[in-house]
Amino acid sequence: MQKYRVQPDDSFRLAHFDPDDTSAFVGGKQEALEALAQLNKRLEKLQELLYAEGKHKVLVVLQAMDAGGKDGTIRVVFDGVDPSGVRVASFGVPTEQELARDYLWRVHQQVPRKGELVIFNRSHYEDVLVVRVKNLVPEQVWQKRYHHIREFERMLVDEGTIILKFFLHISKDEQRKRLQERLDNPEKRWKFRKGDLEDRQLWEKYQEAFEVAIRETSTTYAPWYVIPANKNWYRNWLVSSILVETLEDLQMQHPQPEIDLGSFAIE
């Protein structure tokens, strides 16, 4: 999976990653779906262990262009996990209360506690993406935020949080197809909003903003992964594989009971 991990240097370019790439899986879509089913079962066990052990905190950050597949990734990758230990936090337009505070205030309230896995559907990165592209704050303000974010994530990691950041990378043509499907399919029209078309006109600016944000904030302690996402099956398999591999590396153990239960029997 290392080919998709962004190294902390100045060489990163989004153009080096093909949204259609499926090279890490030997086989086709059907084989990948079967492998994903096994990964789902393994993730279910690992997440249960994470919750039971109560030592680690896991934060998964999902970012993408509109129609990039964040909701679909959450729905498929985390199918079957125990909702008592998994939570999704979504970040839309800041409220008046949130705007009255620093931009990380609302984010910090949603980070995982011990034993919990939290998925950010969008995240604090909106404050170096949307605000940059749409000129919502001056450049001298958002430029400082890369440093803020690196140090915020360093603090979370120092306090025991494992951070995995995924950029779901789709092509402009794939986005066009997905947005058109939302228009054509009555069951998907609720997802469509006028702003989707406005943001699509800013594709190149958003791509540049993502590239800079990833390059500036992919660190050894909180890495970014660029996930080829034109093929949903490959996207889901790849995200699942990285997540399962990361959790297995924690070598978690079930906690010991408070007392010796060997002599107990239920009447």
Q: Tokens for 17?
A: 């990653």
In a domain, 267, yes or no: no
Per-residue pLDDT of the chain (267 residues; tens, 9 = 90+): 789 999 998 899 999 999 999 999 988 999 999 999 999 999 999 999 999 999 999 999 999 999 999 999 999 999 989 998 999 999 999 999 999 999 999 999 999 999 999 999 999 999 999 999 999 999 999 999 999 999 999 999 999 999 999 999 999 999 999 999 998 888 888 888 878 888 999 999 999 999 999 999 999 999 999 999 999 999 999 999 999 999 999 999 988 876 666 666 666
Domain that includes residue 185, residue range: 2-248
In a domain, 104, yes or no: yes
Give the amino acid at 161: T
In a domain, 139, yes or no: yes
Nearest residue to 50 (alpha-carbon basis) of 255, 240, 221, 258: 255
* 90 contacts 121 by C-beta, under 8 angstroms: yes
Look-up: residue for tokens 């794939």? 174
In a domain, 180, yes or no: yes
In a domain, 190, yes or no: yes
Beta bridge partners of 63: 167
**What's the CATH code of the domain at 238?**
3.40.50.300
For 169-234, the DSSP string reads: E--HHHHHHHHHHHHH-TTTGGG--HHHHHHHTTHHHHHHHHHHHHHHH--SSS-EEEEE-SSHHH
* 44 contacts 254 by C-beta, under 8 angstroms: no
Could you tell me the pTM of the whole model? Answer: 0.94
